[in-house]
Amino acid sequence: MRQQLAEWDQAGREQAAIRAAEQHLMQPWPAAEDIGAEARMYLEQAEGIMVEDGAGNRLIDGPAGMWCVNLGHRHEGIARVLYNQAMELSYCSPWYTMSKQAVELSQRLAAHAPGDLNHVFFTTGGSSAVETALRFMQFYNNVLGRPEKKRIVTRGGAYHGSTYLSASMNARPRDGDWMDQARDLVLHLSEPKPAPGLDAAGQRALTARLAQEFRDLIAREGAASIGAFVAEPVQASGGVVIAPEGYLREMRQICAEHDILYISDEVVTAFGRLGHVFASEAVFGIQPDMITFAKGVTAGYFPLGGVMISERLLERIRQSNHPEACFAHGLTYTSHPIGCAVALKVLDLLEAGDLERVRRLEPLFRARLESLRDLPIVKEVRSIGLMACVELATGKSDAASLAIEQKMGKRVDLHCQKLGLLVRPLINMCVISPPFIIDEAVIERMVAILREGILATIADLQ
């Protein structure tokens, strides 16, 4: 395709872009039959909470990009920071230099992080943050003279990234069907998903059963072979799965008893999605050994992630018998000054009111989404902070109905798109995680569109 995007007139631009994408652009998660032919919605611009497609239709950005554009699109203040930082110091090598912005950000993150998590290793996003945490666990155990303590425990429904080790933990439907995973290194526990409407006693019983499952696994496999337990505080891409009451505290306690490092994957939940900079302690009452983060740290304006690491772990390494040991790990864009400058601005904005805003909007957001429960195909609504999932079911268990169920999220999404809302479809689920700048009126509008989209889906099925 010789023609350049810029030369196309507005009317033809969207179609031409889709044709060009089919020939040249490979998108994430393509099915084999769709590689090079799966058109995605073509966006030309966005402002605040709205995105605009090639035909000029404006839609509410229900998923905030990919749980990341938390402060909205076209944020003048953040854009200025990007520009100014590029003009001041656009890059410096983390191997032998460091920037004021990286140092200041490390200080501010340490002040927000729970317990003694006072060091940060910056990466380029969430997968590289998780990969870094796991490689650090390996290094830590090598230095402590226990190279066999490396296996990783994770849960059904988990999503931790797309690099080899992080992806080896992924355990949602189809994650491992056609992709290699380091299966010898990873052990899976059950998805911590309470049944719809489970009462407090049922939640406690489920927590006890899941904790026992972890204890049994440790007894069977041996604590000496297990280096880390990795858990999202809320399983995001698994469908906003909120573990039963007390579950994360129990798992934390079991890890401490067996010297297994607890890695809290806060790639989605950190930086305000649950109303706090980090959610592990503020919301769930746990102090992990490491916290991974990305996405919201730069509100989607620059690729940045990182791992908060406990002082206690670093001290054990410093005190080891191997002063020559090297954590041979680093990325060209580790501690990127533009990413760090943007993150400092994002922290300013969160501290100045956006964290409080999320906490204030949470009850209304939950109540409005829960109002969808009266619809016959809505099986469950899960919501915490400003993230929610509407799970759909036909109520029938024959093969044809189950096949329809697999695509129900997508069906609702397509109807909602026509009505002016983007949702994130996940098999039979619709995930909503709007930018924090949303207000009461837009929440009402979003839920009204979702209702219409679900009703249109019900009509399709009749």
Q: Which residues, including other chains, have CB under 8 Å from residue 226's CB and lie 6 or more apart?
A: 149, 151, 152, 153, 187, 218, 258, 260
CB of 122 or CB of 159, closer to ligand PLP: 159
- 160 binds ligand PLP, rule: CB under 6 A: yes
CB of 236 or CB of 286, closer to ligand PLP: 236
Please, are residues 268 and 97 in contact by the beta-carbon 8 Å criterion? no
Total residues contacting ligand PLP by CB under 6 A comes to 15
Encoded one letter per residue, x for contact with ligand PLP by CB under 6 A and - for no contact, window 279-298 reads ---------------x----
* Minimum distance of ligand PLP from residue 147's CB (angstroms): 26
- 72 binds ligand PLP, rule: CB under 6 A: no
The candidate with the shortest Cα–Cα distance to 345, out of 113, 80, 65, is: 80
Residue whose beta carbon is closest to ligand PLP: 126
Q: Which residues, including other chains, have CB under 8 Å from residue 17's CB and lie 6 or more apart?
A: 5, 8, 42, 54
Q: Which residues, including other chains, have CB under 8 Å from residue 85's CB and lie 6 or more apart?
A: 101, 337, 338, 341, 342
Instruction: Using the rule CB under 6 A, give the single segment among 154-162, 219-227, 336-344, 441-449 that binds ligand PLP.
Output: 154-162
CA 285 to chain CA centroid, Å, is: 20
- 161 binds ligand PLP, rule: CB under 6 A: yes
* Minimum distance of ligand PLP from residue 127's CB (angstroms): 3
- Region 202-241 residues binding ligand PLP, contact defined as CB under 6 A: 232, 236-237
CB of 46 or CB of 66, closer to ligand PLP: 66
Q: Which listed residue (78, 144, 167, 268) binds ligand PLP by CB under 6 A? A: 268
Residues 70-79 as b/e (b if ≥16 CB within 10 A, e otherwise) read bbbbebeebe
Longest dimension (CA), the chain: 70
CB of 162 or CB of 287, closer to ligand PLP: 162
CB of 25 or CB of 403, closer to ligand PLP: 25
* Minimum distance of ligand PLP from residue 311's CB (angstroms): 24
- 265 binds ligand PLP, rule: CB under 6 A: yes
* Minimum distance of ligand PLP from residue 131's CB (angstroms): 9
Instruction: Using the rule CB under 6 A, give the single segment among 108-116, 156-164, 247-255, 309-317 that binds ligand PLP.
Output: 156-164
- 159 binds ligand PLP, rule: CB under 6 A: yes
The DSSP output letter for 183 is: G
Q: Which listed residue (102, 113, 267, 388) binds ligand PLP by CB under 6 A? A: 267
Nearest-Å Rg of the Cα atoms of the chain is 23
CB of 265 or CB of 405, closer to ligand PLP: 265
The candidate with the shortest Cα–Cα distance to 280, out of 117, 126, 133, is: 117
Encoded one letter per residue, x for contact with ligand PLP by CB under 6 A and - for no contact, window 101-140 reads ------------------------xxx--x----------
- 310 binds ligand PLP, rule: CB under 6 A: no
Rounded alpha-carbon distances, angstroms, from residue 354 to 76, 332, 419, 438: 16, 32, 28, 10
* Minimum distance of ligand PLP from residue 450's CB (angstroms): 22
CA dihedral (262, 268, 271, 277) positive or negative:
negative
Q: Which residues, including other chains, have CB under 8 Å from residue 329's CB and lie 6 or more apart?
A: 132, 135, 136, 139
Instruction: Using the rule CB under 6 A, give the single segment among 112-120, 264-272, 353-361, 405-413 that binds ligand PLP.
Output: 264-272
The DSSP output letter for 57 is: -
The candidate with the shortest Cα–Cα distance to 61, out of 438, 356, 457, is: 438
Please, are residues 365 and 443 in contact by the beta-carbon 8 Å criterion? yes
Residue 91 dihedral angles phi and psi, to the nearest 5°: -160, 150
The candidate with the shortest Cα–Cα distance to 40, out of 18, 11, 68, 71, is: 18
Encoded one letter per residue, x for contact with ligand PLP by CB under 6 A and - for no contact, window 367-406 reads ----------------------------------------
- Region 170-209 residues binding ligand PLP, contact defined as CB under 6 A: none
Q: Which residues, including other chains, have CB under 8 Å from residue 126's CB and lie 6 or more apart?
A: 160, 161, 166, 265, 267, 292, 293, 294, 295, 305
Instruction: Using the rule CB under 6 A, give the single segment among 44-52, 158-166, 190-198, 407-415 that binds ligand PLP.
Output: 158-166
Token pair recorded at residue 82: 């990007």
Instruction: Using the rule CB under 6 A, give the single segment among 3-11, 15-23, 182-190, 263-271 that binds ligand PLP.
Output: 263-271
* Minimum distance of ligand PLP from residue 382's CB (angstroms): 16
CB of 17 or CB of 129, closer to ligand PLP: 129
Instruction: Using the rule CB under 6 A, give the single segment among 71-79, 222-230, 261-269, 329-337 that binds ligand PLP.
Output: 261-269
Token pair recorded at residue 113: 């992080």
* Minimum distance of ligand PLP from residue 306's CB (angstroms): 11
Residue 51 dihedral angles phi and psi, to the nearest 5°: -115, 160
The candidate with the shortest Cα–Cα distance to 132, out of 239, 290, 242, 347, is: 290
Binding residues for ligand PLP (CB under 6 A): 125-127, 130, 159-162, 232, 236-237, 265, 267-268, 294
